[in-house]
Chain A
Amino acid sequence: MQSEMIRDDFAFFNHSDLVYLDSASTTQKPKSVLEAMDAYNTQYCANIHRSSHGLGNAATSKYETAREIIGKFLHVGDKSEIIFTKGVTEGINLVAQSYAKEHASCVIISALEHHSNILPWQQIKKPLHVIQTKENLTPDLEHFESLLAQNPNALVALIHTSNAFGITHPIKEMIALAHRYGAKVLIDAAQSASHMPINISDLDADFLVISGHKLYGPTGIGALYIKKDLHPLCNPYQVGGGAIMQVFYDHTEYLPIPYMYESGTPNIAGAIGFGAAIEYLQSVGYAYIAKHEQNIIAYALEQLSQIEDILFYTQVASMQSNISFNISNIHHHDLGILLDKQKVQVRVGHHCVQPTMRFLGIDGTVRVSVGIYTNKADIDQFIKALKRSIAMLKG
């Protein structure tokens, strides 16, 4: 069965008897990613874009190939639109400081944003407008439109799939609406990219961010897409060696994007591992991924729905890739501790969306998230452990 073959690609499952249901936090890494990083470190370790010897050229070429792989993966027109970052958080900070600070009048966000898509805008002291939600946490598009109408030159910054509640925003429609009012749009695809294909040309996003470690790649590496047309408007961010054409004591001429934003020695092994992770994902294919994960989520939801006093915060059918819930009168931390003792790794707490939790009048949930390696046995063990935990805590 393909799912067992996929599981074999991940060394973690050979070493561990834990049930890993926290892939939304970070995914396990397949052997091919580890091997690609190992090859860089052991066979052609050299700095890139600097050392013109053969070894340096080999490293540069692999690093740039990774950029190409990621560019194609996201369907971008030109690989210079892909900037390597540390991850989504750094990508959003970069857009805030280098673009939004000067060119955005305010920032419009959804009510489901991760703290990483709130704090960077506070840092540049831009007014934040939050799109109201309708029942089940879906965005109120009429309210969104009224915000766009009232706020010319806004930057819209939207989470694609919610890390805390598993629902996916209709971003294509929201991007088109924002563009009609002249706003630019940043998409936080941290959670969606591992579960569904992202086609930037089709979506017409202006900025888009992803993290390697949520895509079966290493930690400390991510990518930021900036639409070519906007490159002339983007200012230098963290500056230094590697980003320049010519330096004088009184001024500097910078290289074009992406190099302007990749000063200092980057995470070379990380970028190469990231490229390998994307190749791995593509070898599995989204057709399989979507079908498999939807099956697993549906299987989990079917059993969860039968549990007495379970509370969901969005429509059951709209939860993709992760499921968030509480059991009434039981604290999520108690469930987290008991599940952990039964070898089930889930995340409990506010999931970095405190304003959303406050809106719902709760301080956290239990979140179960799946990846391409999750199987029904994982869900069975989780449900069994959950039932036992509830029985211990009730009454």
Chain B
Amino acid sequence: MQEKLENYIEELSLFDDIMDKYEYIIDLGKRAPSLRENEKIDEYKIQGCQSSVWIIKELREGKLYFKTDSDTVIVRGLARILGDIFAAHLPQEILNFDTKELEKLGLQEIISPVRLNGFTSMINKIYQYAKDENRG
């Protein structure tokens, strides 16, 4: 997680112009695979975001992977980054990770903090999945 996070932090830090940073996230969003329509159900939906965001977990050999999607391309890119950072880790590893570290990405502000912060909600969803798996 730390390594991937640092890669993203480094890539994002290359952009002097904030619009270039968004261009990068939009590009990730456009290239990210979409969920099927029948996967976009409430169970996978993040509550508290202004736009719709879904995160689905997959368990392979004890490790968690995440499929993500959103109806807005920027949030899609953002969800993709988070899904990628946490992918291929044991639930306990995810739970041990200090989420404060993610603030270094400087992306919290992307999902407007109207009422509930969507960025935090996405991370919470990933944590919830890790907790569920850990419990068995």
Task: List the interface of chain A (C-beta within 8 A of B).
Answer: 331, 333-334, 336-338, 341-342, 349, 388, 392-393, 395
In the assembled complex, how far is the CB of residue A332 from the closest CB belonging to chain B, in whole angstroms? 8
- Please, which residues of chain B bring their CB within 8 A of the CB of A342? 19
Contact of A392 among B26, B51, B110 (CB under 8 A): B26
- Please, which residues of chain B bring their CB within 8 A of the CB of A336? 112
Q: Is the CB of A333 within 8 A of B50?
A: yes
Q: Whole-angstrom distance between the alpha carbons of A349 and B51 in the complex?
A: 9
In the assembled complex, how far is the CB of residue B111 from the closest CB belonging to chain A, in whole angstroms? 8
Q: Is the CB of A338 within 8 A of B51?
A: no
Q: Whole-angstrom distance between the alpha carbons of A331 and B19 in the complex?
A: 18
Q: Is the CB of B112 within 8 A of A392?
A: no
Q: Whole-angstrom distance between the alpha carbons of A183 and B75 in the complex?
A: 48
Q: Verify if B23 is at the interface (C-beta below 8 Å from A).
A: yes
Knowing that A334-B26, A334-B72, A337-B110 are A-B contacts, what are 17 other residue pairs whose CB atoms are under 8 Å apart, sorted by A's residue number? A331-B51, A331-B71, A331-B73, A333-B51, A333-B74, A333-B75, A334-B74, A336-B112, A337-B74, A337-B112, A338-B19, A341-B18, A341-B22, A349-B50, A388-B19, A392-B22, A393-B73
8 contacts between A and B (CB under 8 A): A333-B72, A334-B74, A337-B22, A341-B18, A341-B19, A392-B22, A392-B26, A393-B26
Using C-beta atoms within 8 Å of the partner chain, give the interface range for chain B.
Answer: 10 to 19
Task: List the interface of chain B (C-beta within 8 A of A).
Answer: 18-19, 22-23, 26, 30, 50-51, 71-75, 110, 112
Chain B residue at minimum C-beta to C-beta distance from A388: B19
Main secondary structure of the interface of A (DSSP, over half): helix
- Please, which residues of chain A bring their CB within 8 A of the CB of B75? 333
- Please, which residues of chain B bring their CB within 8 A of the CB of A333? 50-51, 72, 74-75
Chain A residue at minimum C-beta to C-beta distance from B52: A363
Q: Is the CB of A338 within 8 A of B22?
A: yes
Chain B residue at minimum C-beta to C-beta distance from A350: B50
**A331, A337, A341, A395: residue with the most chain B Cβ atoms closer than 10 Å:** A337
- Please, which residues of chain B bring their CB within 8 A of the CB of A334? 26, 72-74
Chain A residue at minimum C-beta to C-beta distance from B114: A349
- Please, which residues of chain A bring their CB within 8 A of the CB of B112? 336-337
Chain A residue at minimum C-beta to C-beta distance from B30: A395
- Please, which residues of chain A bring their CB within 8 A of the CB of B26? 334, 392-393
In the assembled complex, how far is the CB of residue B118 from the closest CB belonging to chain A, in whole angstroms? 10
- Please, which residues of chain B bring their CB within 8 A of the CB of A395? 30
- Please, which residues of chain A bring their CB within 8 A of the CB of B73? 331, 334, 393
Chain B residue at minimum C-beta to C-beta distance from A335: B72
Q: Whole-angstrom distance between the alpha carbons of A144 and B23 in the complex?
A: 49
- Please, which residues of chain A bring their CB within 8 A of the CB of B110? 337
The 3 A-B pairs with the shortest beta carbon distances in the complex, nearest first, are A331-B72, A333-B72, A333-B51
